Amino acid sequence: MPLLDITFSTPENPEQTHPGKLFLDEAGRHWLEFNAQGYENDIMHFPVVYVVAELTGVSYTLIHCSLSQMELLTIRLSIQELIIGEHSPAVTVPYYKGIEAEINMLEEWINHRPFTYKLSAQEASVSTLPSFEKTYAINDSTTLELQTWCYHKFQKQEAVFATRSRVKIETKEPASRMMLNNYLLSFLRLQSLFCSKMPGIQKLILCTQENDSHEIQMPSFKKRPGAANDVLITLDQLQSYFPDMVSRYYNEACKYSKVFDLLNESSMNKTAEISYLNITTALEVFHKTFLVERSENLMMPYMDLMIQEKVVTKREKKWINATRYYHLLETVKDIAFFQQRAPDSILMVRKMRNSRNWYTHYDDLGGEIWTPAKLIHINHLLRGLVKAVILIELNLPCIVINKILNADAYLFFHDHEKNPYSLSYIDVKATEE
């Protein structure tokens, strides 16, 4: 853990500097330590601290520094965000022209190897290939660039060759740190449609108007090696559709974020019942956000169908979600994945409604619900439904959507309750006795 002698100040009193020490941790758990003797300001929390290393002269901006440890007059503060480079302004100030990030699973998704190698008993050889660079328009003033290149270094008798990838977002006009970060997070959400897990940031750099680089470090930037089976479909298989998808998606990225946040929360939640509520809420939010105007003439006929099939009792606003579920299932009826796994939309809606009511209010409507054990793979099916309706909205063909969903379905659609080797197994004979 590097330990630096530093001086620090705050934006409120930039001329008033204090000596201290900065601990830099490889995992992003950084610390600021100083002697509080004679320090008159609040020492429990610093919104921002400007730091200069005495030996190197490197500047750091420390954000959200909160009290972690106190021994006599020695104060130690934990740092939530650290920016290496020139002292940064507030997050909303237009100051930067771009942001770039290294993201796990990006290399596998781009699927471009920038070098080849040959091995034999006598020798080994490596040949570099052209790098991959592709630029997409987010809007008239902002671009998204994907890059993959060959990284190599030589040390002693060892040569290291590796594939490196990054996503780069640039604007023509000065942009704030918040705006650029929102663009990047939106890309992560979009990429998550093509991976089995939400991608994570490994490295984050901001570019100023003067072409200086400011690296941001946070504890949440945990490196997790991307595995090939995390990728459901590669960029080269999407290439003819992806430019239009980027434009459509970023045009309404704020609306999509509401749905993605619920979808990703459902994946991280370990409680099947809560995860189910996340997913069904995501479906409801998607329908209310994107399909209400287009489905205005369909809702009443769908409601009448629900009454005819005895899914609901009468036309009431409280049953509107049942018609929303039905409309979304009808939207994906041309995708083979759902034809096989949810062929009866009415039956699916009935169980969705009953289970939604039960796990929300624990109020028995008298119908069949999915047990927590069954929800393990029902949740996966419904996450596929959320992904599918988003991809349809982004104009991706059903045959491509079907390929993505099938790649994500392996091993999930087995009946856990009927597997005698599973802890979720229900012994029907024992329950009947």
Helix (H/G/I), strand (E/B), else coil: 125? strand
Q: Which amino acid is at 221?
A: F
pLDDT of residue 190 exceeding 80: yes
pLDDT (0 to 100) of residue 394: 98
CB neighbours of residue 34 within 10 Å? 21
Instruction: Name which of 125-134, 198-207, 346-355 the model is least confident about.
Output: 125-134
Distances in Å between the Cα of 227 and the Cα atoms of 149, 197, 267 are 19, 10, 18
pLDDT (0 to 100) of residue 165: 92
Look up residue 65 and give its two tokens. 């520094």
Percent of the chain with pLDDT strictly greater than 70? 92
pLDDT of residue 2 exceeding 60: yes
pLDDT of residue 198 exceeding 50: yes
Q: Which of 165, 169, 163 is nearest to 100 (CA)?
A: 169
pLDDT of residue 39 exceeding 90: no
Give buried/exposed letters for 260-271 (b at 16+ CB in 10 A, else e).
bebbbbbbebee
pLDDT (0 to 100) of residue 228: 41
Q: Which residue has the tokens 């409601």?
A: 303
The answer to whether 255 and 145 have CB atoms below 8 angstroms apart is no
pLDDT (0 to 100) of residue 205: 95
pLDDT in tens, 406-422: 998 865 666 666 778 87
Q: Which of 155, 242, 133 is nearest to 191 (CA)?
A: 242
pLDDT of residue 433 exceeding 50: no
Q: Which of 5-9, 40-44, 111-115, 423-427 is most confident?
A: 5-9
Q: Tell me how many helices (H) and strands (E) the chain has.
A: 13, 14
> How far, in whole angstroms, is CA 198 from its chain's centroid?
4
The answer to whether 272 and 376 have CB atoms below 8 angstroms apart is yes
Spell out the domains of the chain, with CATH numbers in brackets.
Answer: 3-84 (2.40.10), 96-238 (no CATH), 252-429 (no CATH)
Average pLDDT score over the chain:
87
- If one compares 404 and 36, the residue with the highest pLDDT of the two is 404
Q: Which of 393, 147, 110 is nearest to 251 (CA)?
A: 393
How far apart CA 160 and CA 155 sit, in angstroms, is: 8
Model confidence at 97, pLDDT cuts 50, 70, 90, reads: very high
How far apart CA 337 and CA 347 sit, in angstroms, is: 17
Give alpha helix (H) positions in 115-220: 177-192
pLDDT (0 to 100) of residue 70: 84
Angle between helices 242-251 and 177-192 (to 10 degrees): 130
The answer to whether 137 and 169 have CB atoms below 8 angstroms apart is no
Q: Which segments of 29-141 are extended strands (E)?
A: 30-35, 45-53, 59-71, 74-84, 96-103, 115-119, 124-128, 132-139
Which helix or strand (DSSP H or E) is residue 246 part of? helix 242-251
pLDDT of residue 294 exceeding 60: yes
Residue 331: HSE in the Cβ half-sphere, 13 Å Cα cutoff: 25
> Whole-structure pTM over 0.95, yes or no?
no
